[in-house]
């Protein structure tokens, strides 16, 4: 019975029509709104709002120049980049070892500890925005990148711990034991054996960390002013409550989305490398 999910006519290594088509559908669905956003960013306002959506139109760079000049999107992109990269890096440095320990070692309260990490993501930012604001003011960290980097750790480290713990758990224990017999310390095992094998998990958690930090809006809105303004804040400052300059909004939206996509492409390569290594092991 041929259902949408079956893949008839597939050779062992070959080209399967069903597979191909389904992948294509996924790509189109994911990309279409983005495509619409990008094309909108090159349209004039009247083209955007015309009764029939225009697939062919006179492109204009006006929206982008306004975004750069008027709103200084360039500086905010740099801020976002610094914040997202730093917090991702620190989350990995803190989270990967913790994940390894949870996966490998046995100690009292391990389950609860693992759960505590996760629960850090459950509190609504609305009610902790005020205390964060107060502390940041106290330590003169308002409108700095550092304060965002630190706060974002609270939701990125749990992701890293989570995803990586899974990956570490699936590495066969025999490898560990063999390494111990050869005289490696636990850190050595972690560094040389577990980490490389967990590369897919590390890559995926890095991508997610980066994305969540990049897109975070509430804390950035409340805690930054002019110096540490991040890209999402600029992207939403257009919401004046009256006009909606769609072209400019979509232009900033595109500019904001691009670095994430580029980052994911770069990190995806690691994902593939890790997979190949995993197969070889």
Partner 1 sequence: MKKFLCTFCAGVAFSCLGLSVAEAWSLEEAAKDYKGTEIKVIFLDRPGYRATIKMLPEFEQKTGIKVSYEIVPYESTREKEVLDFSAQGDLSIALVDLVWLGEFAESGWIVPIDELQKKFPNLTDPDLDLKDFFPLLLNAFGTWNNTVYGLPFDNYSGLLYYNKEMLKQAGFEKPPETWDDLLTVYGPKLTKDGKYAFALQSRRGETQSCDSFMRFIWPWGGSLLDAKFKPNLLSAKDQEGLEFRQKLEKIMPPGIVDFDHNEAVNALAQRQVAMITEWSAFYSTLTDPKTSKIINDLAVAPEPKGPDGRKPALGGFSLAVTTQADDKKKGAAWLFIEWVTSKAKAKEYVENGGVSGRQSTYQDKDLVAKYPFVPPMVESWQQGVPEFRPRFAEWPQLSEIIAEWGTKMMDGQATVKQASEEINKRTEDVLKKAGYYDGKKTLAQ
Partner 2 sequence: MSAEKIKKTYSTGAFFFIAPAVVVLLAVGIFPLLFAVGVSFHQFLLPKVHWHGNFLGIWPIYDAPFSWFGNYISIFQDDSFRESLGRTFLFLIICLPCELILGLVIALLLHKQGNELLKKICRVALVIPMATTFAVVGLMGRLMFDANYGILNYLWALIFHSRPNWLADPNLAFLSISSMEVWQWTPFCALVLFSSLTMVPAEIEEAAKLETAQWWQILWRVQLPFMLPGITAILILRTADILKLFDVVYIMTKGGPGSATELISVFVQRVGFRAFDQGVASAQAIVLLIIATLLSRFYIKFVYKEI
CA distance 98 to 114: 9
Say which entry of partner 2, partner 1, none residue 29 contacts (CB below 5 to 8 A, set by partner kind).
Answer: partner 2
**128 near partner 1 (CB under 8 A):** no
**129 near partner 1 (CB under 8 A):** yes
**134 near partner 1 (CB under 8 A):** yes
Contact (CB, 8 A) for 274 and 196: yes
**Per-residue CA distances from 69 to 39, 74, 87, 105, 243 (Å):** 21, 9, 28, 54, 19
Say which entry of partner 1, partner 2, none residue 102 contacts (CB below 5 to 8 A, set by partner kind).
Answer: partner 2
**Within positions 192 to 231, which residues make up the interface with partner 1, using CB under 8 A?**
221-222, 225-226
Q: How far is the CB of 47 from partner 1 (least distance, A)?
A: 9
Q: How far is the CB of 129 from partner 2 (least distance, A)?
A: 8
Tokens of 48: 């955007």
Contact (CB, 8 A) for 280 and 263: no
**Within positions 8 to 47, which residues make up the interface with partner 1, using CB under 8 A?**
44-46
Instruction: Give the x-and-dash track for 148-167 against partner 1 (CB under 8 A).
Output: --------------------
Q: Compare residues 27 and 239 and give the one whose CB is closer to partner 1.
A: 239
| Total site size for partner 1, rule CB under 8 A | 25
In terms of C-beta distances under 8 Å and separation of at least 24 residues, what long-range contacts does 218-222 make, across chains too?
Answer: 218/125, 218/126, 218/129, 219/125, 219/129, 219/132, 219/148, 219/151, 219/152, 220/148, 222/129, 222/132, 222/133
Instruction: Report the 10 Å Cβ neighbour count for 122.
Output: 8
Say which entry of partner 2, partner 1, none residue 115 contacts (CB below 5 to 8 A, set by partner kind).
Answer: partner 2
CA distance 58 to 74: 25
Say which entry of partner 2, partner 1, none residue 45 contacts (CB below 5 to 8 A, set by partner kind).
Answer: partner 1
Q: How far is the CB of 188 from partner 2 (least distance, A)?
A: 11
Tokens of 171: 């590495």
- Detail the DSSP E strand segments found in the chain: none
Q: Compare residues 175 and 244 and give the one whose CB is closer to partner 1.
A: 244
**69 near partner 1 (CB under 8 A):** no
**51 near partner 1 (CB under 8 A):** yes
The sign of the torsion formed by the CA atoms of 266, 272, 273, 275 equals positive
Binding residues for partner 1 (CB under 8 A): 44-46, 49-51, 71, 129-130, 133-134, 137, 221-222, 225-226, 236-244
């Amino acid at each position: 019975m041929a259902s949408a999910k079956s893949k008839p006519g597939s050779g062992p290594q070959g080209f399967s029509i069903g597979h191909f088509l389904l992948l294509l559908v996924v790509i189109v669905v994911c990309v279409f709104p983005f495509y619409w956003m990008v094309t909108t960013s090159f349209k004039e306002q009247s083209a955007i709002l015309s009764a029939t959506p225009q697939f062919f139109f006179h492109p204009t760079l006006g929206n982008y120049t306004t975004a750069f000049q008027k709103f200084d999107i360039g500086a905010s992109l740099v801020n976002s980049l610094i914040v997202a990269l730093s917090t991702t890096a620190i989350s990995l440095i803190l989270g990967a070892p913790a994940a390894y320990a949870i996966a490998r070692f046995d100690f009292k309260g391990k389950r609860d500890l693992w759960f505590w990490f996760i629960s850090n993501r459950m509190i609504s930012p609305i009610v902790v925005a005020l205390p964060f604001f107060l502390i940041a003011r106290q330590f003169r960290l308002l409108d700095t990148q550092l304060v965002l980097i630190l706060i974002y750790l609270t939701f990125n480290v749990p992701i890293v711990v989570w995803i990586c713990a899974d990956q570490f758990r699936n590495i066969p224990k025999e490898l560990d034991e063999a390494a111990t017999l050869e005289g490696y310390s636990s850190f050595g095992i972690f560094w040389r054996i577990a980490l490389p094998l967990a590369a897919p998990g590390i890559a995926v958690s890095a991508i997610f960390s980066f994305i969540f930090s990049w897109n975070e809006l509430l804390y950035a809105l409340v805690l930054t002013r002019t110096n540490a303004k991040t890209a999402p804040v600029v992207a939403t400052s257009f919401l004046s409550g009256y006009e909606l300059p769609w072209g400019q909004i979509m232009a900033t939206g595109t500019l904001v989305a691009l670095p994430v996509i580029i980052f994911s492409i770069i990190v995806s390569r690691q994902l593939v490398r890790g997979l190949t290594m995993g197969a070889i092991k």
